[in-house]
C-alpha cells in the first residue's frame, strides 16, 4: 500500500533496532525510578497511563464522533465550537484518573468539505490526538512525513493513494502548540440511509488524520 | 494578561530570530506574512517556561494561516495552505 515507504523508511537495521530498544527501555526505567525516588511520580500512575493508552483509547472513539457529526446536526455544531468540551464530557481527557494536574487536552475538529481537504502533522515531534485515535502510526512520527507534509502536501497525499482534485484547497494543520486536531471526513456518498452505528464502521483512522478520504459506496 | 492584540482576519508577520533554546516557532514560518485564522485562548509560552524554569504568565495565541507559496516560493503547490498556532510574542 502507499504508506509502505513511510513504514519502512524510518526502521533501522534489525540489529540496531534491538540495541536501540534495549537502551531506551533501560533509560526509561532509570528515569521512572529517579522520578519515583524524588517523589514526583508514582509507578501506579505510569501503569494507569500505559493501560489507558494501550487498552482504552483508540480510533473507535474518533469514529464514533465522526458518525455522530454526520447524523446529528446539534452535535456537529458543538463539535465545531467546543470539541474540547465534548471529550471532557466523554471522559477522554483522563480527568477522572489520578492525573488531575496534567494539562487539559485541547481538541479541534476540522471538517472536510467539497472545497477544503484537511490533513494533520506535527513537525516539531509527533503530537497527535491520542485520546480519540489511540497511538500514532509509525509513519506519522517519521522525519519524512513530518517534513514533507508541510512542504508538498498534495504529493505526499498522492503517495497515500489520495488524489485531491485541482481547485480544492489542501489545508495542513501543524500541531506545534496546545491544540490537537481531528479531521472529520466527508460522509461517503451512498451511506445516507445507514444508521449511526453502521456509519462508525466506515470511518478509518487514516481518514481522521486526513491522509486518506473515505471511498463512496457504489 | 493584556487584551489580545490581533483579531481574526488581521495580517501579521512572524518574527525572525535564532533562539538558543526551546521554541514553538519553527524556522519554516519565521519572517513570513500570514493571516489570523482564529483566537485560540491564552497559555504560557513554552519558550519562556523552559528558559526561566517556571511556568510563565498567560499570553494570547492564535491559529495563523499561511499560503504554501508564502512559505516555499512560487513553485510551491498552488491551492495549499498551512495553519499553525503562534503566541503573540512570535508575531511582529
Does any domain span residue A218? Answer: no
Residue in chain B lying closest to A169 (CA) = B79
Active site residue A126: yes
ipTM field: 0.96
Q: For residue A100, give the CATH number of its domain.
A: 3.90.330.10
pLDDT tens-place values along chain A, 218 residues long: 333 444 444 445 566 778 888 899 999 999 999 999 999 999 888 888 877 777 777 899 999 999 999 999 999 999 999 999 898 888 776 554 444 444 567 899 999 999 999 999 999 999 999 889 988 999 999 999 999 999 999 999 999 999 999 999 999 999 999 899 999 999 999 999 999 999 999 999 999 999 999 999 97
User: Catalytic residue among A122, A142, A175, A207, which?
Assistant: A122
DSSP B36-85: EEEEEEEEE-HHHHHHHSS---EEEEEEEEEEHHHHH-TTSPTTEEEEEE
A97 catalytic residue (yes or no):
no
Beta carbons of B60 and B39 less than 8 angstroms apart: yes
Which chain A residues are within 8 Å of B80, Cβ to Cβ? 153-154, 169-172
B71 → chain A, closest CA residue: A151
Could you say which of B72, B79, B85 has the minimum Cβ distance to residue A167?
B79
Within chain B, what is the greatest distance between any pair of CA atoms? 43
Tell me whether residue A36 is in a domain. Answer: no
- Which of B26, B77, B81 comes nearest A123 by C-beta? B26
Please report the pLDDT score of residue A212 as a whole number. Answer: 98
**Closest Cα in chain A to B69:** A151
For the record, the C-alpha cell of A6 comes out as 513511510
Indicate whether A189 belongs to any domain: yes
**Range of the structural domain that residue A173 is part of:** 4-9+57-209
Long-range contacts of B16-19 (CB under 8 A, 24+ apart): B19/B47
Domain total in chain A? 1
Contacts of A165 (CB under 8 A, 6+ apart): none
Give per-residue pLDDT as tens, B1-58.
678 999 999 999 999 999 999 999 999 999 999 999 999 999 999 999 999 999 889 9
Out of B43, B76, B81, whose CB is closest to A178? B43
Secondary structure element (H or E) that encloses residue B12, with its range: strand B11-13
CA gap A125, B16 in Å, rounded: 22
Nearest to A153 among B28, B80, B83 (CB): B80
Q: Which CATH fold topology does B11-90 show?
A: SH3 type barrels. (2.30.30)
Q: Annotated catalytic, A125? A: yes
Catalytic residue from among A3, A127, A175, A207: A127
* Residues of chain B contacting A153 with CB distance shorter than 8 Å: 68, 77, 80
Query: Which residues of A fall within a CB distance of 8 Å from B77?
Result: 152-155, 170
pLDDT at residue A45, as a whole number: 87
Q: Are B61 and A178 within 8 A, CB to CB?
A: yes
In a domain, A93, yes or no: yes
pLDDT of residue A55: 72
B83 with A172: Cβ contact below 8 A: yes
Catalytic residue status for A127: yes
Partners of A115 on chain B (C-beta within 8 Å) are none
Amino acid at each position: 500500500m502507499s504508506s509502505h515507504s513511510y513504514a519502512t523508511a524510518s526502521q533501522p537495521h534489525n540489529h540496531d533496532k534491538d540495541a536501540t530498544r534495549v537502551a531506551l527501555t533501560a533509560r526509561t526505567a532509570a528515569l521512572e525510578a529517579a522520578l519515583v525516588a524524588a517523589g514526583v511520580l508514582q509507578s501506579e500512575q505510569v501503569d494507569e497511563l500505559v493501560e489507558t493508552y494501550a487498552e482504552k483509547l483508540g480510533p473507535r472513539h474518533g469514529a464514533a464522533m465522526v458518525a455522530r457529526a454526520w447524523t446529528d446536526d446539534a452535535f456537529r455544531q458543538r463539535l465545531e465550537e467546543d470539541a474540547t468540551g465534548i471529550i471532557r464530557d466523554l471522559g477522554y481527557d483522563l480527568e477522572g484518573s489520578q492525573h488531575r494536574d496534567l494539562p487539559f487536552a485541547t481538541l479541534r475538529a476540522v471538517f472536510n468539505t467539497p472545497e477544503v481537504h484537511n490533513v494533520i502533522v506535527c513537525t516539531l515531534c509527533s503530537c497527535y490526538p491520542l485520546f480519540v485515535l489511540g497511538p500514532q502510526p509509525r509513519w506519522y512520527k517519521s522525519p519524512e512525513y513530518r517534513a514533507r507534509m508541510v512542504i508538498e502536501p498534495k504529493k505526499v497525499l498522492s503517495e497515500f493513494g489520495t488524489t485531491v482534485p485541482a481547485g480544492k484547497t489542501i489545508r495542513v494543520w501543524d500541531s506545534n502548540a496546545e491544540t490537537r486536531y481531528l479531521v472529520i471526513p466527508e460522509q461517503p456518498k451512498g451511506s445516507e440511509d445507514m444508521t449511526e452505528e453502521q456509519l462508525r464502521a466506515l470511518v478509518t483512522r487514516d481518514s481522521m488524520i486526513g491522509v486518506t478520504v473515505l471511498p463512496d459506496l457504489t | 494578561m493584556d487584551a489580545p492584540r490581533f483579531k481574526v482576519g488581521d495580517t501579521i508577520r512572524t518574527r525572525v530570530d535564532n533562539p538558543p533554546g526551546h521554541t514553538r516557532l519553527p524556522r519554516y514560518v519565521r519572517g513570513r506574512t500570514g493571516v489570523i485564522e482564529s483566537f485560540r485562548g491564552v497559555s504560557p509560552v513554552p519558550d519562556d517556561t523552559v528558559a526561566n524554569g517556571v511556568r510563565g504568565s498567560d499570553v494570547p495565541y492564535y491559529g495563523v494561516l499561511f499560503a504554501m507559496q508564502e512559505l516555499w516560493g512560487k513553485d510551491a503547490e498552488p491551492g495549499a495552505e498551512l495553519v499553525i498556532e503562534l503566541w503573540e510574542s512570535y508575531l511582529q
